[in-house]
Structure 1
Amino acid sequence: MNIKRFGRPAVVAVAAAIALTSCAANEGATSPAAEPSEETSTLSGTLNAAGASSQGAAQEAWVASFQTANPDVTINYDPSGSGAGRETFIAGGAAFAGSDSYLKDEELAGEFAMCVPGTSAVDLPVYISPIAVIFNVEGVDELNLDADTLAKIFKGDITVWNDPAIAALNADAKLPATNITAVHRSDDSGTTKNFADYLNQVAPSVWTEKPADAFPFQTGEGAQGTSGVVDAVTNGVGTIGYADASRAGDLGVAKIKVGDEFVAYTAEAAAAVVDGSPLVEGRADNDLAIALDRKTTDPTHYPLVLVSYAIVCTEYADAEQGELVKNYVGFMASEEGQTEAAASAGAAPLSSELQAKVAEVVASIK
């Protein structure tokens, strides 16, 4: 996989959910793609993008750096959620989508309004992050959960914190008789799909529903976006939820069982799972959707992970938009862009091999 670096264009804004454009002013850039050279940047225009809220902190850093190096470019990113982002991109309201789940087969079979008719879109991994199981339970600082127990909590089969199944995994914890409030995403979310995919693969006898962007059960409490889940867990009593690890803050974070050990998330453990996973079969050679190995028993891996993609046209009907996407997404996936995402959001950088694969595809965007 050979990686190349490119400048950075902009993303789609649908609402004005985050006015990232103002963040750009005084932040330095260090990569060849980003740093101002003796020649003034010739890139100009506005890129609007929408999608995964998990990418929010990373997008703020990427936008700031890119716009500093390219002052005539405006980038807007609306963290409306993966499902909404894909819909916006498909309809032509965004130059690319951020999505924590790759395009569905039925989406790939359709038309993309921003793309040249007869061409398609591809999934490019740009952001890797653990999904944290966050909790707020009085008197409980540490929590161990296996996949079966976690699935039963979110399915509504386990309803109190001192349930024998939880107690058996946490012999030293003083678990209260408090009711469990399991908080899930109310919007279509790639984080939900990744969470459900993990449970469906590792605890299939409990989590029998096929993974999807929509939460499948009429249980618990729904909240809009990553911030909504974090707020609900923070402000509730006896709460548990799932969210991009960059947003866990001071909340308790459960360890999950991998093999015979309970494992806390780390960026390195998340990256290890991705590096050990194959690409999804049956896709175009330039589509880099990853089939994550959720069933690993290697305790150096953290299988509850999401890969967030930039979904882009292979050929844009508007060549100027294509050039901006090529530069900006190329920057996001570059060594510098990945370093910035790690610093700002705790993301796991793409491996050099995966960076190279993404750069090769980015270079072919028209």
Structure 2
Amino acid sequence: MKTKRRAPRARLAAVGVATTCALFVAGCGAANEGGGGDAAEGSGVSGTIAGAGASSQQAAMQSWIAGFGEANTGATVNYDPVGSGGGRTQFIEGGVQFAGSDAYLEDEQLTQARERCGGSVIEIPNYVSPIAIVFKLDGVQELNLAPATIAGIFKGEIKTWNDPKIAADNPGVQLPASPVTPVHRSDESGTTENLTDFLNKAAPDVWTDEADGNWPVQGGEAAQGTSGVVGAVNAGNGTIGYADASQAGELGKANVKLGETNVAPTAEAAAKILEESQRVEGQGDTSFAYELNRTATGGAYPVVLVSYLMACPTYPDQAQADVTKAFLNYVVSDAGQQAAAQAAGSAPLSETLRGQITPVIDRIAAGS
């Protein structure tokens, strides 16, 4: 069953294209250290395109822009990390040529994107990353947490670290009687939406709220953005939150207890989620949106963020079509995925999935 989410708060195109160059001009130059060695995809194209969207992709996007630019010196790619909701809005309104989003298009937005693109819209997963359950608890270096325990913590129902539910997940570990302080995002976030989707599907008896980019539960501590959550958890003791694993720093990262197996938030475990998930029905043959299997077994890490690139199959300008096609091909190429893995700790796409995605990208062309 498809997950419903609230309509994103408007972050309109006024935020948009005029600021993209300013925001990522530095990225285009400074990120050269992250460039993929083989940027031959679409080598020699020229023109300028702009994108906007998920900040989760920011470090990876800098590496893609740098690597692509090495082989395409006449091409300029700008990206404004305004957030998933803002990126989708700008893309639908025609303000940018592509968007990055931590959630696939649904309902009214899918209809609007199809209208903008002339009938169908391209959605491809390009950035897969584990969301770590981050914690700071003096004297505890490793923590295992079952989905229902995580749900109880963020619901505010588990109030102390020596609660029997946490103790049952960690036999033999000396847990203090100190308070648990859960930290969540204060802003609308694809990371929040993916965490709440996991909680709803893996622990439905405890977490009865549907997936939502806006934190649905009262209480706890709120912080702005990934850096705010990491900072708040790091500043306390007995704190627990959630963040892209690549940005967790020195914080503890809990293993998710699935049956008798404790799965760590590694890139390798995150990558397995797509192998155990199904494509969303009704999105069209140019969409590779996935309904993630949050209860997957076989070593897949279930608290994972899959971020997408959205583009049109046709553009009114030949140069925009050429650069968009070439750039997307580089992003999903082995070189592009390895560059993102080095820059952002993301999980590279499989060869099988790449082989399915590339023919859709190759259909991008100029047209009315």
1:196 corresponds in structure 2 to 196
Matched, 1:231 2:243: no
282-291 or 227-236, larger mean C-alpha shift: 227-236
| Kept in 1: contact 2:271–2:347 (CA 8 A) | yes
Root-mean-square deviation (CA, aligned residues, Å) is 2.3
Q: Which runs of 5+ in 1 are unaligned?
A: 1-10
Check the 8 A contact 2:169/2:257 in 1, yes or no: no
Find out whether 1:154 has 2:161 as its counterpart.
no
Residue of structure 2 equivalent to 1:61: 63
Which deviates the most, 339-348 or 251-260? 339-348
Amino acid at match of 1:335: D
**Matched residue, 1:360:** 359
Partner Cα distance (2:266, 2:35) in 1? 27
Structure 1 residue 112: Cα displacement: 6.5
Assess if the C-alpha contact under 8 Å between 1:20 and 1:77 holds in 2. Answer: no
Distance 1:93 1:230, change over 3 A: farther
Select the structure that is richer in helix: 2
Which secondary structure state, in structure 2, belongs to the residue aligned with residue 50 of structure 1?
Answer: strand
Q: CA deviation at 1:253?
A: 0.3
Distance 1:24 1:257, change over 3 A: closer
* 1:334 Cα deviation from its structure 2 partner: 0.8
Among candidates 51, 57, 60, match of residue 53 of structure 2: 51
Q: Is the 8 A contact 1:34 1:65 kept in 2?
A: no
Partner of 1:350: 349
Does structure 1 conserve the Cα–Cα contact (< 8 Å) formed by 2:45 and 2:326? no
Residue in structure 2 matching 1:103, options 90, 102, 105: 105
- Which residue of the partner structure matches residue 125 of structure 2? 125
1:321 matches 2:320: yes
SS of 1:56's partner is helix
Q: 1:329 to 1:142 in 2, by over 3 A?
A: same
Closer/same/farther in 2, CA of residues 130 and 345 from structure 1, 3 Å limit: same
Quick one: distance in 2 between partners of 1:350 and 1:28?
Answer: 17
- Deviations along 1:181-206, one digit per CA (max 9) or x if unpaired, are 22222222221111111111110011
Identity of aligned residues (%): 49
- Indicate how the Cα distance of structure 1 residues 188 and 176 shifts in structure 2: closer, same or farther if over 3 A, else same: same
Contact 1:108 1:120 in 2 (8 A): no
Deviation at 1:360, TM superposition (A): 1.0
Question: Is the Cα–Cα contact under 8 Å of residues 61 and 344 in structure 1 kept in the other structure?
Answer: yes
Contact residue 30 and residue 336 of structure 1 kept, 8 A: yes
> Aligned ranges for residues 114-263 of structure 1 at < 5 Å?
115-116=116-117, 118-263=118-263
The aligned counterpart of 1:308 is 307
Aligned residues: 348
SS at match of 2:213: coil
Asked if the contact 2:120/2:286 (under 8 Å) is kept, the reply is: no
Structure 2 CA distance for partners of 1:111 and 1:266, relative to 1, 3 Å:
closer
Q: Is the 8 A contact 2:39 2:330 kept in 1?
A: no
Say which SS state the counterpart of residue 167 (structure 1) adopts: helix
Instruction: Read off the aligned partner of 2:46 and give its amino acid letter.
Output: L
CA contact (8 A) 1:50 1:80 kept: yes
Q: Distance in 1 between matches of 2:130 and 2:314?
A: 32
- 1:307 is paired with a residue whose SS is strand
Name structure 2 gaps, 5 residues minimum: 1-15
8 Å contact kept, 1:13–1:77: no
Q: CA deviation at 1:337?
A: 0.5
Report what 1:23 is aligned to.
30
CA distance in 2, matches of 1:179, 1:189: 26
Question: TM (normalized to structure 2)?
Answer: 0.87
What is the 5 A alignment of 1:80-99? 80-99=82-101
Query: Could you tell me whether the CA contact under 8 Å between 1:89 and 1:95 is conserved in 2?
Result: yes
Task: Report the Cα distance in structure 2 between the residues aligned to 1:127 and 1:364, rounded to whole angstroms.
Answer: 21
8 Å contact from structure 1 (residues 13, 78) kept in 2: no
Deviation at 1:336, TM superposition (A): 0.8
TM-score computed with the length of structure 1 as normaliser: 0.87
